Structure 1
Amino acid sequence: MRKILIILIGTVLLFNNKISAQLSIENLNVSQTKKFIKSSQRTANIDLTISLLEHLCSLSPQNDKAFFNLGLAYYNKREYSAASEKFLKSYELNKQKNVSALYFYSKMLKYNGQVAEAINNFTEFKKIGKRTKFYSQNRKEIESEIAGFNVDSVKNNVKIARIDNEINNAGAEFSPIILDENRFIYSAFNNEKNAFSLYEASKIDNKWTKSDNVIDALSNLGYSIGSGSFSKDSLRFYFTVCKENWQNKTICEIYVTSKSSEDWTSPIKLEKPVNLTNYTSKHPTVTTNSKNADVLYFASDRPYGYGGLDIWFTEYDIKNEMFAEPKNLGGKVNSKHDEITPFYDYNSHCLFFSSNGFQGLGGFDIFKTYGDKRKWSSSNNIGKPLNSGSDDFFYVLKNNAGYLISNRSDSATGKLETCCDDIFAFEYNIENKILLKGSVYSINPIKYDNESTFSENIKVQLYIKGDDDFYLADEQLANLKGEYSFLVEKDNDYKVMVSSNNKEEFLTVNANDIKAANTDTINLMAISIDYIPTEAFTINDVYYAYNDYQLTSEAKDTISKKLLAFLNNNKNISVEIASHTDNKGEDSYNIELSQKRAQSVVDFLVTNGIDATRLKAKGYGENFPLTANAFSDGTDNETGRSQNRRTEFRIISAETSLMVENK
């Protein structure tokens, strides 16, 4: 199928409606009209192309190809009613030859929300067109378009409404960036600058007002400014700049400005490998990686993608002060058509984006996928009413509310045409959500009474079930009481994970249990963690004869009851046996003596069945006293010396386990 020219205000196409000389279209003959059509198509002058094609159709009212091309032109301009009329005319002029016109007519009905009529015509198209070359060449796209009717049954528990005309004007608005619950930044055409600029929308007393010069450093850039995203720390603003190249092709590139004190720096274009000559990179959204470096997701038509525009990501290399080579997000996100306007919600680890390559209601639909970088769940259409038969994109979310851009008609505000993009506000109904609450506490295996305490600052992660795996959806640190909570949707399966000492364990929560709970809060079982201390523990009552390293019978009895029993009960633990002396004698001699004493403990444990690889003997001599060997006046501190002559053990490695239990 011929690739349809996608005119998205979101990509900031620069309109070129200037004609080098005054042209009286009505005076052109057929041959002249066709020549001017080719010229206007080459410069992407869609309004002139439509006027010329309308004239050609009036001159040649039986020219089915002219009506088909006129339908495509209206489709590209997103005037779906006019497009459907022309496609139908083209089909009726030559039904046997022009089956593709019936397909596009059915598609325009779908885009206009005429679902029943669209289904009937798609059914007719499949019956007469299934054996045609057109159908075989475009089978996947056709079947995806038809399957998109199934999405109609997916309805979100959400309210959506077009923002009033103080913000939505006659032109196009796009790329909302949420500042807080009553303010957002967006891009719209600036008549004075003859380019797109950033504005701020503010809601005061339930009324919207707008102001300009959002970021002073961008006010005199001289080019159209499109979609943007603040870094997680709000110190950098990445945004799109679009301009025409020498071939009159609109190329978009990503720029960045940084905040210094109260001012923003002059914008800098990101160099290779983010921006590539003669290829578009746009629609940046930013999060961070484990090194707290920026991770940039963006749309690009660069080589080695899946289709037209794909979504890619790149990570900032702090050491080399540059972005790494971008990588494609893969086939679960990208199709052979176009994926645009990514938005990464780092609270839920969910990527929202728009695509015209997956099953949808019409045009660009909004999809979501969980994951990051190269690992993603399968993309799911977020359904009605957030998606419509028109183009829906630039979805952004904060907490339970957000904005999106759509060219859908809206009878409530009198918007009947589908040519232009407007901002719509939406808010999810939290009645479809439930609070998962739980706590984390620790048990110290060294303390024989199994004393437990609640654990703060333990990382707790929430995973959501995808089509083939669980994907990270949220994470937080337990509070001072060891508590955590997650607000989740009721229709999914989840796992709660707690990490400790490189060991992980999951607590499963399935959708059926959530629905059966019939409450707004589910209290989960407490999660207990085997606490592995890093400090050394003194083994009391282990004595040696003066200047000797052999264990006494009393010492062996103590080691058997305490250390040997502990090691037998904790076979996943390795320990260091440390011996210390007081400061009598030469330092070198004390080191040697303490090493032999530590080794004697290791030998005793090995003799009693402990694997030698779990034990390490270390003599520290007099180097680490617990207390002073002498008083401040120089007299001997015999009590202090006896405390310094000791044997300790310290855990040096452990494969710990997590236990899920009621408490």
Structure 2
Amino acid sequence: MNRVFRFVLYFIVLITLASCSAGKLGRDALLSHEIGEYYNAIEKYRKASRKEKDRDKRREYAFSIAECYRYIGDYEMAALYYRNAIRRGYSNPIALFYHAEMLRASQDYEQAIENYRMYLDTIPGDERAQAGLEAIRKTQEWVANPTRHIINPIKEINSRESDFSPVFVGGRDNEVIFTSTRKAATGKKESMITGQDYADLFKSTFSIQRQKWETPQLLDENLVVNTGDEEGAATLSSTGEQMIFTRSRYDKNQSLGTELYSASQSRGTWSDPIKIQLVGDSIIAAHPALSPDGSVLYFVSDMPGGEGGKDIWKAEKDGGTFVNPENLGETINTPGDEMFPFVRDNGELYFSSNYHIGMGGLDIFVAREDEDGNWTIENMGYPVNSPSDDLGIAFVEGENKGMFTSNRKGSRGDDLYEFMVPPKIYRVEGEVYDKETREKIDGATVRIIGTDGTNMRMRTQDGKFQMKLQPETEYVFAAFKEGYLRDKATANTIGLEDSKDFRFELFLTSTDDPIKIENINYEFGSWELLPESEAELDTLIRVLVLNPTITIEIMSHTDHVGSDEFNFDLSQKRAQSVVDYLIEKGINPQRLVAKGYGETWPKTVTRRLASQHDFLNRNDELTEEFIMELSEEQQEIARAINRRTEFQVLSTDFIERFDAEPEE
């Protein structure tokens, strides 16, 4: 009995000790979590969870581990632990929301949508969940309609560790400074936030001969800028001589805050960095970005007066320092985090956010400010953004290319990617044909007039011509050759988002032979034009406008049915109806003659007509005798061909004369 009692007492003591041990680990984990040591907190939470017997506490630990993974950007692990907490009965619906967010970042959109809806059933109308559903819809839209950016990882620079926040020296594309936790970094301590070694600033130059980036080296081998603490996220003056960078200091692994420092370079040597006094102690000041003229410093901080989370602020330069920090406001800043600002030489502000509608994690946005100081925000879309974290963009000065950071699939952590937007190329290729024979016309002249001032001529070779076009320009191409009527086409590059090739055919009509006006129809036995005839007559008007020196005869023909007198009279009135319509539309009557030919001018079969009707041959004349030899069906086709309206060019030297206004 005594032995049993001792065993029970021993067992109780073990349980008590284990409970005390688990409780201490849990409190330590919570402390690390609260001060932002997320990686350290994860390990402590795990140990506490393994020793903890209380199911409620283990459920809480699972949720807290998920939170820490979310903070350090490991969205797949965060999704795993959120799901674990939910399955164990975690009651706060926020777990459903964040699980949906992590599933979205992991591209499990179907399950993410289900979780968002479950969360909305509990918290109806929640804006964050509605934004998450909208983000999934927008993501699918962005992927289906990618931007013109071409992106590639920079293999020569990237390491197995984190490489991020590039900045070009002097705005040129041949030297870059970036932040890295690679093994060559001087800070060998493991970050309690990320679990990686402390970061340092590195540099790399582009070898023109090798056409590749050189192996990165420490920016400062004298360890004036790089120290045993963490350095990174830098910005440079336009000349590259001044650098402002982020430094996180530690004392016995305890964070002393994140601050901004300034250093200058002379003959390759950096001066001792000087702290920029912008915010109070224990408040974050990080991710600096200078305006192109150096008069404004943008940075990230969690100081009071923001919109929540980390915000982007700006400070004006006064003498040799920056003063009076000002929050950029709710259009840019949100209850989430806005970080990694960059100001392009055209004044556009780029930054990353995990709250504005995006593809998942951090997305890169561009903000444009109007004359009244109002900002317009735009997501950069796919492929710059991805469901993972995309941040720290930098442009080469004056060009649409640069680098940014991403941990998207295929990356080994945070990697540097180069991007470029290829120039828009617009080309036109045209061919000039004889409208009747369909043969290409060699030596035709093409005149090109553009709204950018272009006014030139070129000749076709084997009936073809081609040229490059300028962006944001409207062009008119007019082809002409002696003995032919002109034709024209237009091309417009205004507002085009992508390169484009324009291809068109121009058809010149010979002035030697009558030209049929297609689809001219009248009331039966009448000269009243039917409404459907107007479209083709409007085409004839365009021909007359395009060829202002020609005069024409409108020729109307009937078939052989009916008396000669009736057919002459009907055809004359029909020809006059066409002339009246043209005059009504503004054509000078001096350029027009109406002539009815009745049945006296049977149609001679052209090559095109012969190709359309297998019972006809080229040069057949559709006389009454010829038609009567055909079948009844073929006769109706032949009579319809004879019932036609044509025009014949009479002269090509007409000059418009305007009568002088009478004197009063």
- Range of TM-score over shorter length: 0.5 to 0.7
Write the distance in 2 (CA, Å) between the matches of 1:517 and 1:301.
40
* Alignment pair present for 1:341 and 2:344: no
Which aligned pairs between 1:35-114 and structure 2 lie closer than 5 A?
35-42=27-34, 44-58=36-50, 59-60=52-53, 62-63=55-56, 64-94=59-89, 97-114=91-108
SS across alignment from 1:316? strand
SS across alignment from 2:114? helix
Counterpart for residue 217 of structure 2? 212
Write the distance in 2 (CA, Å) between the matches of 1:161 and 1:212.
22
Write the distance in 2 (CA, Å) between the matches of 1:207 and 1:262.
23
* Alignment pair present for 1:233 and 2:236: no
> Is the Cα contact below 8 Å between 1:284 and 1:298 reproduced in 2?
yes
SS across alignment from 1:167? coil
Counterpart for residue 204 of structure 2? 201
User: CA deviation digits over 1:368-409, x for unaligned, max 9?
Assistant: 011289824321111112111222110111212211112222
Query: Residues 220 and 70 from structure 1, CA distance in 2 versus in 1: closer, same or farther, beyond 3 angstroms?
Result: closer
* Alignment pair present for 1:267 and 2:265: no
Instruction: Give the number of the structure with larger relative contact order, counting CA–CA contacts within 8 Å between residues 6 or more apart.
Output: 1
> Is the Cα contact below 8 Å between 1:256 and 1:269 reproduced in 2?
yes
Write the distance in 1 (CA, Å) between the matches of 2:304 and 2:213.
42
Deviation at 1:36, TM superposition (A): 3.5
Which aligned pairs between 1:216-615 and structure 2 lie closer than 5 A?
219=224, 221-222=226-227, 223-244=229-250, 248-260=254-266, 263-271=269-277, 274-288=278-292, 294-317=295-318, 320-346=319-345, 348-371=346-369, 375-398=373-396, 399-410=399-410, 415=412, 420-431=413-424, 513-515=494-496
Query: Residues 247 and 98 from structure 1, CA distance in 2 versus in 1: closer, same or farther, beyond 3 angstroms?
Result: same
> Is the Cα contact below 8 Å between 2:471 and 2:493 reproduced in 1?
no
Write the distance in 2 (CA, Å) between the matches of 1:430 and 1:518.
8
Write the distance in 1 (CA, Å) between the matches of 2:86 and 2:37.
26
> Is the Cα contact below 8 Å between 1:354 and 1:393 reproduced in 2?
yes
One-letter identity of the residue aligned with 2:404 = L
Query: Residues 512 and 406 from structure 1, CA distance in 2 versus in 1: closer, same or farther, beyond 3 angstroms?
Result: same
Write the distance in 2 (CA, Å) between the matches of 1:214 and 1:103.
42
One-letter identity of the residue aligned with 1:35 = R
Query: Residues 124 and 42 from structure 1, CA distance in 2 versus in 1: closer, same or farther, beyond 3 angstroms?
Result: closer
> Is the Cα contact below 8 Å between 1:80 and 1:108 reproduced in 2?
yes
> Is the Cα contact below 8 Å between 2:425 and 2:500 reproduced in 1?
no
Q: Of residues 173, 176, 184 in structure 1, which corresponds to 2:166?
A: 176
Query: Residues 516 and 184 from structure 1, CA distance in 2 versus in 1: closer, same or farther, beyond 3 angstroms?
Result: closer
> Is the Cα contact below 8 Å between 1:432 and 1:489 reproduced in 2?
no
SS across alignment from 1:378? strand
Deviation at 1:519, TM superposition (A): 6.4
User: CA deviation digits over 1:507-563, x for unaligned, max 9?
Assistant: xxxx99433998699xxxxxxxxxxxxxxxxxxxxxxxxxxxxxxxxxxxxxxxxxx
- In structure 2, the gaps of 5 or more residues are 1-16, 189-197, 428-449, 454-469, 474-491, 503-664
> Is the Cα contact below 8 Å between 2:225 and 2:270 reproduced in 1?
no
Query: Residues 225 and 102 from structure 1, CA distance in 2 versus in 1: closer, same or farther, beyond 3 angstroms?
Result: same
User: CA deviation digits over 1:441-485, x for unaligned, max 9?
Assistant: xxxxxxxxxxxxxxxxxxxxxxxxxxxxxxxxxxxxxxxxxxxxx
SS across alignment from 1:50? helix
One-letter identity of the residue aligned with 2:307 = Y
User: CA deviation digits over 1:265-314, x for unaligned, max 9?
Assistant: 3322223xx2433222221111255xxx5221111222212222221222
Query: Residues 429 and 113 from structure 1, CA distance in 2 versus in 1: closer, same or farther, beyond 3 angstroms?
Result: farther
Q: Given the two structures, how large is their TM-score scaled by the length of structure 1?
A: 0.55
Write the distance in 2 (CA, Å) between the matches of 1:216 and 1:55.
40
Query: Residues 88 and 432 from structure 1, CA distance in 2 versus in 1: closer, same or farther, beyond 3 angstroms?
Result: farther
Deviation at 1:345, TM superposition (A): 0.4
> Is the Cα contact below 8 Å between 1:167 and 1:209 reproduced in 2?
yes
Give the length in aligned residue pairs.
Answer: 406
SS across alignment from 1:515? coil
Counterpart for residue 117 of structure 2? 123
Deviation at 1:367, TM superposition (A): 0.6
Query: Residues 304 and 175 from structure 1, CA distance in 2 versus in 1: closer, same or farther, beyond 3 angstroms?
Result: same
One-letter identity of the residue aligned with 2:334 = S
SS across alignment from 2:376? coil
Deviation at 1:351, TM superposition (A): 0.6
Write the distance in 2 (CA, Å) between the matches of 1:221 and 1:373.
41
One-letter identity of the residue aligned with 2:392 = F
The percent identity for this pair of structures is: 24
Query: Residues 361 and 93 from structure 1, CA distance in 2 versus in 1: closer, same or farther, beyond 3 angstroms?
Result: same
Query: Residues 85 and 376 from structure 1, CA distance in 2 versus in 1: closer, same or farther, beyond 3 angstroms?
Result: same
Q: Of residues 141, 146, 151 in structure 1, which corresponds to 2:133?
A: 146
> Is the Cα contact below 8 Å between 1:199 and 1:210 reproduced in 2?
no
Deviation at 1:145, TM superposition (A): 2.6
- In structure 1, the gaps of 5 or more residues are 1-24, 440-486, 491-510, 522-663
Deviation at 1:107, TM superposition (A): 1.2
Write the distance in 2 (CA, Å) between the matches of 1:263 and 1:520.
52
Counterpart for residue 160 of structure 1? 151
Query: Residues 313 and 489 from structure 1, CA distance in 2 versus in 1: closer, same or farther, beyond 3 angstroms?
Result: farther
SS across alignment from 1:394? strand
Write the distance in 2 (CA, Å) between the matches of 1:35 and 1:516.
56
Q: Given the two structures, how large is their TM-score scaled by the length of structure 2?
A: 0.55
One-letter identity of the residue aligned with 1:515 = L
> Is the Cα contact below 8 Å between 1:157 and 1:432 reproduced in 2?
no
Write the distance in 2 (CA, Å) between the matches of 1:488 and 1:185.
35
Deviation at 1:365, TM superposition (A): 1.0
Deviation at 1:176, TM superposition (A): 0.6
One-letter identity of the residue aligned with 2:201 = L
| Superposition CA RMSD, Å | 3.7
> Is the Cα contact below 8 Å between 1:87 and 1:105 reproduced in 2?
yes
* Alignment pair present for 1:188 and 2:180: yes
Deviation at 1:41, TM superposition (A): 2.8
Write the distance in 2 (CA, Å) between the matches of 1:299 and 1:70.
26
Q: Which moved more, 1:109-118 or 1:210-219?
A: 210-219
Write the distance in 1 (CA, Å) between the matches of 2:107 and 2:472.
28
Query: Residues 421 and 433 from structure 1, CA distance in 2 versus in 1: closer, same or farther, beyond 3 angstroms?
Result: farther
SS across alignment from 1:226? strand
Deviation at 1:125, TM superposition (A): 2.8
SS across alignment from 2:315? strand
Query: Residues 101 and 61 from structure 1, CA distance in 2 versus in 1: closer, same or farther, beyond 3 angstroms?
Result: farther
Deviation at 1:73, TM superposition (A): 2.4
User: CA deviation digits over 1:288-346, x for unaligned, max 9?
Assistant: 55xxx5221111222212222221222222xx443231222222211122211110001
One-letter identity of the residue aligned with 2:235 = S
